[in-house]
Amino acid sequence: MLIKRLNMVLIAGPCVIESKEQIFKIADYLQKYIGKYDFYFKASFDKANRTSLDSYRGPGLEKGLEILAEVKEKYGYKLLTDVHETWQVKPAAEVVDVLQIPAFLCRQTDLLVEAAKTDKIVNIKKGQFMNPADMKYSVLKVLKTRGCDEVSYENSKKYGVWLTERGTTFGYGNLVVDMRSLVIMREFAPVIFDATHSVQMPGGAGGKSSGKREYVPYLSKAAAAVGIDGFFFETHYNPDEALSDGPNMITPDMLDNILKDIDCINKCQGE
């Protein structure tokens, strides 16, 4: 039997920091979710795994963390951001509350161990190439570093380790979500569903990724019906003009409607 979730985690914000104005505009809108959910504001200071060398990556570590720190100071938000290399972990941990391990790096031992040495939550995104059951070994790398030798949902929750599902490679340029993975991974860690990256089409736009944001509401409702700990939505006012992940990001209005549906499903489940 799956363990009942107590307070839904909501992670939202733009894929990458494009400008200070962009960040504060979306951060201001998302204030409505404080208190209603266990809310985390998300934005990346660097996207190191872009398809093309010419793609926009972000403002970089120093400038990006400076902007995120201002968001935290103004809104009191808990923050989540990606780290791609071990040297980024310590400075990022001085600002954010959750260190996210990108999907392509989910087995990168040195990065997992370095993140585990901090007192921050470590959110490991399941690689698009990974068997969900094998994610327990990535979790265990963090747990062992933090002094725990047994993988379980309760231990992962206690020691601050999350897993995020973002789809599995399905042929070339497409992802598919196997809803069984949510059940499998939730046996040994709290599970977040990344609804926006799950509709991404890697490399589908010729040197950059495409996506099908119109499927985000359907996958979100399916994940809510399975029963998970939270949701991840990359959110942008003008997704079609975004500098990264535009085709799979959603607008604030879409987010509002999706959350209404999720709330109804949770209510039916007695949450």
Q: What is the pLDDT of residues 1-20, one digit of tens each?
A: 344 445 899 999 999 999 99
Using DSSP, state whether 240 is helix, strand or coil: helix
State what percent of residues in the chain have pLDDT above 90.
82
**Which amino acid does the sequence have at 146?**
R
Closest by alpha carbon to 60, among 106, 22, 91, 94?
91
Handedness of CA 187, 188, 189, 194 (dihedral sign): negative
Is the residue at 2 inside a domain? no
Average pLDDT, the chain: 93
Instruction: Look at 88-102, 152-166, 236-250 and tell me which has the smallest mean pLDDT.
Output: 236-250
The total number of structural domains that make up the chain: 1
Is the residue at 104 inside a domain? yes
Q: Which residue has the tokens 């992802």?
A: 175
**CA 147/CA 157 separation, integer angstroms:** 14
> What pLDDT, on a 0 to 100 scale, did the predictor assign at position 1?
36
Tell me the mean pLDDT in the region 57-81.
Answer: 97
Is the residue at 155 inside a domain? yes
Is the residue at 4 inside a domain? no
Quick: pLDDT tens for 177-233.
999 999 999 999 999 999 999 999 887 656 667 779 999 999 999 999 999 999 999
Residue 36: count of CB within 10 angstroms of its CB: 12
The pTM of the full predicted model, rounded to 2 decimals, is: 0.94
Tell me the mean pLDDT in the region 47-69.
Answer: 88
User: Are 44 and 15 contacting, i.e. CB atoms less than 8 angstroms apart?
Assistant: yes
- Write down the H helix ranges in 201-270: 216-226, 252-268
> What pLDDT, on a 0 to 100 scale, did the predictor assign at position 204?
61
Using DSSP, state whether 250 is helix, strand or coil: strand
Quick: pLDDT tens for 87-134.
999 999 999 999 999 999 999 999 999 999 999 999 999 999 999 999
- Range of the structural domain that residue 229 is part of: 9-268
Is the residue at 223 inside a domain? yes
User: Are 61 and 93 contacting, i.e. CB atoms less than 8 angstroms apart?
Assistant: no
> What pLDDT, on a 0 to 100 scale, did the predictor assign at position 171?
87
> What pLDDT, on a 0 to 100 scale, did the predictor assign at position 103?
97
Is the residue at 170 inside a domain? yes
Give the Cα-Cα-Cα angle 258, 261, 265 (nearest 5 degrees).
140
CATH assignment of the domain containing 20: 3.20.20.70
Using DSSP, state whether 36 is helix, strand or coil: coil
